[in-house]
Structure 1
Amino acid sequence: MATTKAKAGLNNEGSPYRETNVSRTEASSPALSAGGAAPLSVANNSRTYSLDDFDTVATVGTGTFGRVFLVKDKKTRGFFALKAMKIPDVIRLKQEQHVHNEKEVLTEVNHPFLITLFWTHHDERFLYMLMDYVPGGELFSYLRSRGRFSNSTGIFYSAEIVCAIEYLHSKEIVYRDLKPENILLDGEGHIRLTDFGFAKKLSDRTWTLCGTPEYLAPEVIQSKGHGRAVDWWALGVLIFEMLAGYPPFFDDNPFGIYQKILAGKLEFPRHLDFYVKDLIKKFLVIDRARRLGNMKNGAEDVKKHRWFKSVDWEAVPNRRLKPPIIPKVSHEGDTSNFDTYPEDEWKKDTPVPPKDLEIFKNF
């Protein structure tokens, strides 16, 4: 049983798809992304889209100020995820920088385990991001239905995530929002990281308090300035949650969670493999200078850990490992792996005044 999690809309920097203080099982779905197709980034996509190119099929995710639609391209009959964000709410919740960060990061990345951004646009009411649609649903749904994953299943997902984090860090990008809700499965069962609202290009360190309480590294809570090490801490939390069925630090309120994180006391369930316990301990080190993944050899140290001894690291980014879970997907536009949402009168919003639109003129 996955434990209820409080959500952080912290320091006015809540994510577009995060609610404050709702349980994880009720939390809104993040922006979605595609199955199988090779990623194509904005930078190398020659086609210019318009909203008229698409028919809306269904809503597949909702959040504080956004909604994700499954849309069908009228020309190619292909499916995409269209994330629409209400500009007045983005401004009210002081999310302008996060929205720009998300676009900047996604425009720069091109990797088989990351969502792909094809096009951005805005009108007088909404910001739009066109991304690939990933029909398999969230890893969180599979974890919740199974209770916990086997050791070998945990190794598969962790290996693909290690490659995704290594790639982001090679581009000086810190992801900052690793958790089961932000990991989608494509039609074949491989991962795609989604929801880059907290991702940031790092010149040095950053001080923003953002993320989900259970996954925050100590240096984020203590406002010491943080960098890439936070993603390795979050991977330690994620591996623990995948194999135990609950996160290592949890409480009824965020401040109780923070206290437990800073105390750093780990209690492992008895069934956990010896090597995975060792790996988790090396990720959940308070001193980030000694945290696995954040030392001189970076991700190479992670890959060489004994828990991953069965992994062919050359095969991982080529999607040659056999996925342990194959989602039930009947066709490219299948929405059955996502929750259903009422198609309400969401679009009836007043236009934003021109001075507010200035902030998004390059979006």
Structure 2
Amino acid sequence: MVLVMFRESFLKKWEAMKPSPDTGLQGFDELATIGSGSFGRVKLVREKNSGNYYAAKLVLKEMVVKTKQVPHIFNEKRVLMSIDFPYVVMMDFCRKDYDNLIFGLPFINGGELFTYHRKVRKFSEKQARFYGAQVLLGLEYLHNLQLLYRDLKPENI
């Protein structure tokens, strides 16, 4: 019953998708770069009005076109804007500027499961059950929406 409710919410957001505004990171203070990759970088930003912190994923449009990933990036945007579940990161906002697509994700301080596991070396059974249950619930939610997550690894948790 709960999964049906989540699916209806997802579908409503999926159908109501609108184009991203051309405002870039206007209205945000850029504080630091917290990650980088082949398509761009992730910056820690603070919204000027609310003071809320976000991880802004800046994806270079040139790289998306060059690598023929345009349909994939549009699908990623649409999925991230439509999902809403406690154990899955969703997108709070999406914008663009001349060079970048900007995905505004919640800033979740604490790092990756991979880094934490490497630090503690071994999880207790209680910890392993806790993290495993969260991952399982997140995957159950996504599968209920007919979505398949193909990049599951500790670095992405």
Aligned counterparts of 2:106 and 2:50: Cα–Cα separation in 1:
14
Aligned counterparts of 2:59 and 2:97: Cα–Cα separation in 1:
11
In the alignment, structure 1 residue 179 sits paired with structure 2 residue 131? no
Is the Cα contact below 8 Å between 2:81 and 2:93 reproduced in 1?
A: no
| Superposed displacement of residue 84, structure 1 | 0.4
Kindly provide the CA deviation profile for residues 204-227 of structure 1, in whole angstroms up to 9, marking residues without a partner as x.
xxxxxxxxxxxxxxxxxxxxxxxx
Aligned counterparts of 1:87 and 1:172: Cα–Cα separation in 2:
28
| Superposed displacement of residue 49, structure 1 | 9.4
Aligned counterpart, 1:130: 104
Aligned counterpart, 1:9: none
Kindly provide the CA deviation profile for residues 110-129 of structure 1, in whole angstroms up to 9, marking residues without a partner as x.
00111121221222211111
Aligned counterparts of 2:136 and 2:155: Cα–Cα separation in 1:
17
Amino acid corresponding to residue 149 of structure 2 in structure 1 = Y
| Superposed displacement of residue 105, structure 1 | 1.1
| Superposed displacement of residue 151, structure 1 | 2.0
In the alignment, structure 1 residue 140 sits paired with structure 2 residue 124? no
Aligned counterpart, 1:258: none
Aligned-residue identity in percent: 38
Aligned counterpart, 1:62: 36
Aligned counterpart, 1:153: 127
Aligned counterparts of 1:91 and 1:49: Cα–Cα separation in 2:
18
Amino acid corresponding to residue 56 of structure 2 in structure 1 = L
Gaps of 5+ in 1: 1-40, 184-363
Q: Please, what is the CA RMSD of the aligned residues?
A: 1.9
1:169 aligned residue (122, 134, 143)? 143
Moved more, 64-73 or 88-97: 88-97
TM-score, length of structure 1 as denominator length = 0.37
Distance 1:156 1:49, change over 3 A: farther
| Superposed displacement of residue 179, structure 1 | 0.6
Equivalent position SS for 1:81: strand
Aligned counterpart, 1:78: 52
Aligned counterparts of 1:133 and 1:111: Cα–Cα separation in 2:
16
Amino acid corresponding to residue 65 of structure 1 in structure 2 = F
Higher helix share: 2
The number of equivalent residue pairs is: 139
Is the Cα contact below 8 Å between 1:70 and 1:80 reproduced in 2?
A: yes
Equivalent position SS for 2:92: strand
Aligned counterparts of 2:140 and 2:73: Cα–Cα separation in 1:
23
Is the Cα contact below 8 Å between 1:49 and 1:119 reproduced in 2?
A: no
Kindly provide the CA deviation profile for residues 28-63 of structure 1, in whole angstroms up to 9, marking residues without a partner as x.
xxxxxxxxxxxxx9x49xxx8942110001111100
In the alignment, structure 1 residue 94 sits paired with structure 2 residue 68? yes
The structure whose Rg is larger is 1
Kindly provide the CA deviation profile for residues 172-191 of structure 1, in whole angstroms up to 9, marking residues without a partner as x.
111111110000xxxxxxxx
TM-score, length of structure 2 as denominator length = 0.82
Aligned counterparts of 1:57 and 1:109: Cα–Cα separation in 2:
27
Distance 1:52 1:59, change over 3 A: same
Amino acid corresponding to residue 62 of structure 2 in structure 1 = P
